A and B are shown apart, each in its own frame.
Chain A
Amino acid sequence: MRLATTFAGTILAMCLLGSCSGGGNIAAQVTGPLICQQLNNSLTQQALALAIQHTMVGQATPADLATIMTSAASLRVMAGQAGEPLKSRLTDAATAAEGVGDGQVTPGDTQAVADAFTRLGEEVGKTCNPPVR
């Protein structure tokens, strides 16, 4: 385990430095930890969580709505880098976030956020070991 982690970390560091040109199996190996690092960006997660909360209780500010849309865009970027099934979960979460990003929250929007982010959380938990939290 220690060896695998070190190997993956080495590959990841190389990729981050721009020297990673690999694909196939090696790319799949590094995608997990990279995505976990990005998903661990607590600032993105916390800002999105707070903005969605404000939206649901009808207290969203324009800044909250902007945060939601920016965060949704980040989720789509991460989806582009992730493999399945995390890719789909990230895409669904981005779509759900965009659904409340207009400030008009319907029961369906709320349900979509609940479903998409709960499933995203489950998938992140499986992908990132140990769990993000």
Chain B
Amino acid sequence: MQSARSIARHASLLVATVLSMLGLAVPAQAGPDTTLCRSSTTRATIPDTFPLQACFDGNKLVVVNPLGFPVIVSVTGNGVGQAVRVPKLGGTIPSAVLSILGPHTPNLVPPGYQIAVPIGAGEAKVSLSTTPDLTRGYAVIKIIWNYLPVGESAKAIADLVSELTDVSEQHTNCRNTNNNWGDIGCDALLYRNITFAVARAGIQGGVAGSLKTLIDSAAWSNAATQDALKARNGVSAFTIKAAPAPQAPKLPPAQSNQPPPSNLPVVTNNPPSPAPNHTQPLPPPPVTAPAPTPPSRTITVQNKYLVGASGMAEDSIPAYLSSRMEPRCRVNGCMLDGTEMASGDTITVTCYAHGAAMTNQNQSISDDDNNPNRADSSLWYYGTRSGQRGFISEVYITSQHRGGLGLPVC
């Protein structure tokens, strides 16, 4: 009889083998990572067996996904802010594609990506999860991405992924309810459905065969994905404790018997008391805090696109503010006139929000996929220029001014 340790070892080897066969990374280098932030352990200790790289600096949780599949990092609690996602470990799936994957949240962390989540003073709970659909969608997108026609709309891609997911589910059901002979029919049906789906999406080339191979193994990969988290015997959740309550400033002891500094009589609405032989003490004058100045930052425009493996070039079409957080406002009527900007121009912004995912790369070629200047983000700043107020994607802002800059969410 095998020992539990032996079984666990064999399970780990199996998972590693499966992930390797699927071209996925074997989980490695996870847990606390003090290179990600100025680590503070006052409120939280990242478990050593946490499957992702993580760091908490007292105000912000930074998490990087070194795994081979997307993970949803849920952070809940009072004061938890909006996560900001950026590529980190060579993440190569464009943000535009990530938004197709299902949960429209930056808390979805694909392989090689990082999120930073502002943590308030309250307790926050951090947990990891993934879903078969998410894993499958990601795997499908990885395969079809290079086959997509130039200019393919996000909706068309989403439709294709959705159809392929349905096809995959039908195939799984077909195989589950059939014997080996019936499975030959299931496979043929799968191939026919995939062929039709990719043809409808206008995709050519040998992608159907690759997709069939993938979907044939989808049920297996999903199981492996779930097992991968367990196989590490990892802790997939932890809690960030509430910050200690700030100590009240020490006030001088109340001197209620002292006359009010102004020596003015107390004015009340009550009729005079028949024996008011003493004056009542005045309450301390209200302390009025100075009106808070709305936070704002001046950011610098970088209206450039990637060129090749490391270059950048000025975009001949100027950047601009838009009334909606979406691309192509110049032609879709949401560009704010008179707000055109070139690289080096500055703009004052007061908050940020998340909208359409944008990129500064040329998605029709792959030469610039690993350009270190690449920016993919759904974060948009809100600011004012030429008397107009609107949004601008942070991919058109210099890298040092990205990430929200501590501004509030709009």
Contacts and interface: CB of A to CB of B under 8 A. Distances in A.
Contacts of A56: 187-188, 191, 209, 212
Contact of B181 (A58, A107, A132): A132
Contact of A57 (B178, B185, B191): B191
Interface in A7-46: 39, 42, 45-46
A80 interface: no
Interface string A73-112: 0000000000000000000010000000000000100110
B72 interface: no
A118 B179 contact: no
Task: Give the size category of A's interface with B.
Answer: 20 to 34
Contact of A118 (B174, B180, B195): B174
A118 B180 CA distance: 10
B188 A125 contact: no
Q: Is the interface of A mostly helix, strand, loop or mixed?
A: helix
Contacts, number: 87
Contacts of A132: 179-181
A49 B185 contact: no
Contacts of B209: 56-59
B409 interface: no
B187 A52 contact: yes
Interface-central residue, A46, A107, A114, A124, by most chain B CB under 10 Å: A114
B184 interface: yes
A110 B181 contact: no
A42 B191 contact: no
Task: Give the size category of B's interface with A.
Answer: 20 to 34
Contacts of A49: 180, 183-184, 187
Contact of A45 (B180, B185, B195): B180
B185 A116 contact: yes
B231 interface: no
A118 B185 contact: yes
Interface-central residue, A58, A107, A117, A122, by most chain B CB under 10 Å: A117
A14 to B, nearest CB: 28
Given A122-B182, A125-B179, A53 B192 contact: no
B189 interface: yes
B192 A117 contact: no
A93 B185 CA distance: 9
Interface string B200-220: 000000101100100000000
Interface string A120-133: 11101100000111
19 contacts: A45-B180, A46-B180, A49-B184, A49-B187, A56-B187, A56-B188, A56-B209, A57-B208, A57-B209, A59-B209, A111-B188, A114-B186, A118-B174, A120-B182, A121-B179, A121-B183, A124-B179, A131-B179, A133-B180
Nearest 5 pairs between A and B by C-beta? A121-B182, A117-B185, A118-B185, A57-B209, A114-B188
